[in-house]
Amino acid sequence: MGDPGRIFDEFKAGATIVFQGLQRSCPPLTRFCRALELELSHGAQANAYVTPAGARGLGVHYDTHDVFVLQLAGTKAWSIHEPVLADPLASQPWKGTAADAGPPILSVELPAGDCLYVPRGFLHSARAQEALSAHLTIGIVTTTWHDVVREVVAGVADEPEFRRSLPPGYAADPAGLAAGVEETVAGLRKWLDGVDAEAVAEATARRFLAARPPVLAGQLHQLGMLDRLADRSLLRRREGSVCHLAGTGDRLIVVLGGGRELDMPAALEPVMARIAAAGPFRLSELEDLLDGPSRLVLARRLVGEGLLEIVDLG
Average pLDDT over residues 70-84: 95
**Residue whose C-alpha is closest to residue 64's, from 82, 46, 85:** 85
3-state secondary structure of 127: strand
CATH number at residue 268: 3.90.930.40
- State the pLDDT at residue 79: 94
> Which of 141, 172, 194 marks a domain boundary?
141
In this structure, are residues 77 and 131 in contact, taking their beta carbons and an 8 Å threshold?
no
Q: What letter represents residue 200's amino acid?
A: V
In this structure, are residues 155 and 192 in contact, taking their beta carbons and an 8 Å threshold?
no
Q: Which domain holds residue 302?
A: 219-312
User: Model-level pTM?
Assistant: 0.88
Note the pLDDT tens digit of each residue in 5-44.
898 898 889 899 999 999 999 999 999 999 999 999 999 9
Lowest mean pLDDT among 1-5, 22-26, 61-65, 225-229: 1-5
Tally the domains of the chain. Answer: 2
Average pLDDT over residues 144-150: 97
CATH number at residue 33: 2.60.120.650
Positions of E strands within 231-285: 234-237, 244-248, 251-257, 260-265, 281-282
Average pLDDT over residues 297-303: 97
Decide if 110 is inside a domain. yes
- State the pLDDT at residue 166: 96
- State the pLDDT at residue 286: 96
SS3 content of the chain, % helix, strand, coil (to 5): 40, 25, 35
3-state secondary structure of 189: helix
Decide if 165 is inside a domain. no
In this structure, are residues 126 and 61 in contact, taking their beta carbons and an 8 Å threshold?
no
- State the pLDDT at residue 290: 95
From CA 305, how far away is CA 239, in angstroms rounded? Answer: 14
- State the pLDDT at residue 157: 96
Same domain, 260 and 136: no
Note the pLDDT tens digit of each residue in 235-279.
999 999 999 999 888 999 999 999 999 999 999 999 999 999 988
Same domain, 232 and 135: no
- State the pLDDT at residue 97: 84
Note the pLDDT tens digit of each residue in 176-194.
999 999 999 999 999 999 9
Q: How many CB atoms lie under 10 A from the CB of residue 196? A: 11
* pLDDT level of residue 101 (50, 70, 90 thresholds): confident
More confident site: 21 or 129: 21
Cα separations in angstroms, 163 against 55, 160, 194: 55, 5, 18
Decide if 213 is inside a domain. no
Decide if 191 is inside a domain. no
Decide if 58 is inside a domain. yes
Beta bridge partners of 110: 76
Same domain, 22 and 137: yes
3-state secondary structure of 23: helix
Cα separations in angstroms, 201 against 149, 152, 208, 249, 273: 11, 10, 11, 18, 20
- State the pLDDT at residue 59: 85
From CA 265, how far away is CA 233, in angstroms rounded? Answer: 25
Decide if 203 is inside a domain. no
In this structure, are residues 62 and 83 in contact, taking their beta carbons and an 8 Å threshold?
yes
pLDDT mean across residues, the chain: 94
